[in-house]
A and B are shown apart, each in its own frame.
Chain A
């Protein structure tokens, strides 16, 4: 593996401006904004994208200040509900983003009008979230096809901008608050673009969406749920959590974990939580030689061979309901429900079953 030489002064310099100390990574922050969404993507080369701004102006402005944001290249409103766009007018006034994008579906609220007025006042370039690609430095952003015609049912939610982000081999999906109608439509028209690693779970983990079919199409390893502690709507709903768990998807929630950071070098990624100890993934990325594969942890045999749990002759595992396989010790493998577990003794066997290797444990 090639080693990258990073002069000390360059590290110091980047430390001064960003919290990023590695060359060529991106950080995707799922900001704890309470009951609402706000995802912030920062490339170590300086590009900044903000998708949604949550339900409270002060909370989002504090986050941006704390992280040290001094500019925003692209601001996206997934849809114009107040739990996604509050404070966006202020953000536009302060950071004057180079571009603003939304679904272009009108909403009558003052909150949305203020956002549009701020776009106009600051002469920010407006883009509609039609099917298109955006190249921003090392980030490749794809806007997946909008609903056509507009979905009448839960119209603003279902017409959310659905954003895919690719950085090297690692991909994210930010589907706003879409519900099952739009999920089904996306499976029809954009199935090839739905397969990703990290899913921002639609609509705060509501049972209005995140169908089994949608999870089969997206095959995430990680699901992040934006929700506020003790919210009035019971988000996330039990059905959604169970569906995610049945696929062995590692779940993080802003109400439990606070702000969730996924950092990636485009080959592997790590998750850093503000609170909680759910994550038992690979060791931290190193500042050099990021592509060095993580050595597989030693497998200790289960002390009590209870029920049908096999012994260590099996090295690989997958969920019946997912097309990803894991090393048996992978943190994601722990989440697979017993009844969905399938074991493989060789890597070839796992691949022959039509599955691809997990990007975290890299079996």
Chain B
């Protein structure tokens, strides 16, 4: 997908979608030298492996915390 750089605002770059609408994108993620009017080529895909690893990591953390919950009503 190709997006145009409309302008820069503070730490954001305003990118234009093919339908003419715009959105903010972090300036820090742009390649060096990018300037107003440049056309950016975007390719995005899901990293299944990283997602799986990440989900397992959080699940472990959560399971550890859940193990102290004995269930039932709570009196605080």
Contact = CB atoms under 8 A, between A and B. Distances in A.
A129 B65 CA distance: 13
Given A106-B62, A120-B64, A127 B74 contact: yes
Interface residues of B, number: 19
The 7 closest A-B pairs by CB, nearest first: A126-B65, A108-B54, A106-B58, A134-B74, A136-B76, A133-B73, A116-B61
A254 to B, nearest CB: 23
Interface string A272-298: 000000000000000000000000000
Interface string B57-76: 11101101110110111111
A64 to B, nearest CB: 19
Contacts of B71: 130, 132
B66 A128 contact: yes
A119 interface: yes
A117 B76 contact: no
A135 B73 contact: yes
B11 interface: no
15 contacts: A74-B76, A99-B74, A104-B62, A104-B66, A108-B54, A108-B55, A113-B57, A116-B58, A125-B68, A126-B66, A126-B68, A128-B69, A134-B73, A134-B74, A135-B74
Interface in B25-76: 51, 54-55, 57-59, 61-62, 64-66, 68-69, 71-76
Contacts of B69: 126-128
Interface string A92-103: 000000110000
Interface residues of A, number: 25
B74 A133 contact: yes
B76 A134 contact: yes
Interface of A: 47, 73-74, 98-99, 104, 106-108, 112-113, 116-117, 119-120, 125-128, 130, 132-136
Given A126-B66, A127-B69, A98 B58 contact: no
Given A116-B62, A120-B64, A130-B71, A108 B76 contact: no
B15 to A, nearest CB: 15
Contacts of A74: 76
B18 to A, nearest CB: 19
B53 to A, nearest CB: 9
Contacts, number: 55
A117 B61 contact: yes
Contact of A106 (B59, B64, B74, B76): B59
Q: Is the interface of B mostly helix, strand, loop or mixed?
A: helix
A120 B54 CA distance: 18
Nearest to B65: A126
A135 B75 contact: yes
Contacts of B62: 104, 106, 116
A106 B75 CA distance: 26
A127 B55 CA distance: 20
A106 B73 contact: no
Given A119-B65, A120-B61, A106 B55 contact: yes
B61 A98 contact: no
A112 B61 CA distance: 11
Nearest to B76: A136
A111 to B, nearest CB: 11
Contacts of B68: 125-126
A116 to B, nearest CB: 5
Contacts of B66: 104, 126, 128
Contacts of A47: 76
Given A120-B64, A126-B65, A108 B58 contact: yes
Contacts of B54: 108
Contacts of B61: 113, 116-117, 120
A108 B54 CA distance: 6
